[in-house]
Structure 1
Amino acid sequence: MARNAVIFHGTGANPRVCWYPWLGRRLAARGYEVRLPHHPELNVEPIGTFLPKVLAGQPFDEDTVLVGHSGGAALLLAVLEHIEVPVAQAVLVAGYATRPNDSAEPVLQETYDWAAIRAHVRDLYFVNSRVDPYGCDEHQGRAMFERLGGTQIVRDDGHFGDHDQPYDTFELLDRLIP
């Protein structure tokens, strides 16, 4: 069975910015079927109506790798809770499970079934920065890690890409995904 990877961009972003296309090319070169869906309604539309559209648009199986950045990483929590089959790996970059700042966060659920999330992913990574300007920091990563296990990686790399932080490559992610 072919391995597949889905890379979810962050709030207000698109699949053509940041390290997303670079990682997509790296994974495709290793034999992954890569999808970089564009979700302009990410963190705009409430998760209750947004999530079914995301789930309907993507096949998930035991060989799937999920990567999410910022709002896309927060989306992965809901995806992992509600999919039918465990995926191989999920990497949440600048992820969060509670409001990281004063902005509305419609991508977040009111509560999470942490046991269901953990049961639906074999290998889990949280990559956060101590100097994230939006509050998607190591404390957010630690809160998820304490509920889900996996591996937490803490860096000092801002938001790992933003309108004012070019981040065209992300070697760490390339090494984390087999």
Structure 2
Amino acid sequence: MRNAIIFHGTGAHPGVAWYPWLAARLAERVYDVEVPHYPGINADPVAGLLPRILESHRFDEQTVLVGHSGGAALLLALLEHVRVSQAILVAGYCTRPNDSEEPVLQDSYDWDTIRANGGELYFINSRNDPYGCDDRQGRAMFDNLGGTQIVRDDGHFGDYNQVYDEFPLVDRLIP
């Protein structure tokens, strides 16, 4: 059975934004869907968080990973260790996007391994992201990994002050 794991962003949880909507859409298509709660995303150093994530989930070449913001940045570290069919990074980033500490980021990435393990890669970023997780960040990941970069003018794709209950674009990208 195909499985999908949706990783929330910094300070978020599985019940916000478009995560429940996308999980329901994928479940209708017979995906085994997880939307785990990791309060430590971008609060705990990724080196400590990553082993817990690797032990807690099943990853294989039929797995689809979706990450939003800090959850998308987490996918970069995760893809150094697991091979999946598809990874969609929404409002993702690979360098500090603003003045905040970013413990979800690694000092460096093995881009060749991520490229080999990531399957079909998508980077969805917005030119007007208020946190700096913008199209330039998406371009940096695209330049290192290839894949497909999608640029919008749609803020952070969901946040405490941006209602974003559905995300049809992401739904359409997943077979």
TM-score range, shorter chain: over 0.9
* Alignment partner of 1:112 out of 109, 114, 135: 109
Where does residue 33 of structure 2 map in the other structure?
34
Q: Measure, in 2, the Cα distance between the counterparts of 1:41 and 1:122.
A: 26
Shift of the alpha carbon at 1:3?
0.3
Q: Measure, in 2, the Cα distance between the counterparts of 1:92 and 1:119.
A: 16
AA in 2 matched with 1:94? A
Q: Are positions 1:130 and 2:124 aligned together?
A: no
* Alignment partner of 1:152 out of 149, 153, 157: 149
Q: Measure, in 1, the Cα distance between the counterparts of 2:22 and 2:105.
A: 25
AA in 2 matched with 1:126? F
Where does residue 61 of structure 2 map in the other structure?
62
Runs of 4+ in 1 over 4 A off after TM superposition: none
Where does residue 14 of structure 1 map in the other structure?
13
Where does residue 79 of structure 1 map in the other structure?
78
Shift of the alpha carbon at 1:82?
1.7
* Alignment partner of 2:93 out of 88, 91, 96: 96
Shift of the alpha carbon at 1:121?
1.7
AA in 2 matched with 1:12? G
Shift of the alpha carbon at 1:122?
1.5
Q: Secondary structure at the match of 2:120?
A: strand
Identity of aligned residues (%): 69
| TM-score normalised to structure 1 length | 0.97
| Unaligned runs of at least 5 residues, structure 2 | none
* Alignment partner of 1:140 out of 127, 137, 140: 137
After superposition, the CA RMSD in angstroms is: 0.5
Q: Measure, in 2, the Cα distance between the counterparts of 1:8 and 1:46.
A: 16
In the comparison of the two structures, how many residue pairs are matched? 175
- 1:33-65 CA-partner distances (Å, limit 9, x unpaired): 000000001101101111111111111001000
| TM-score normalised to structure 2 length | 0.99
Q: Secondary structure at the match of 2:26?
A: helix
Q: Measure, in 2, the Cα distance between the counterparts of 1:76 and 1:45.
A: 15
| Unaligned runs of at least 5 residues, structure 1 | none
AA in 1 matched with 2:169? L
Shift of the alpha carbon at 1:30?
0.3
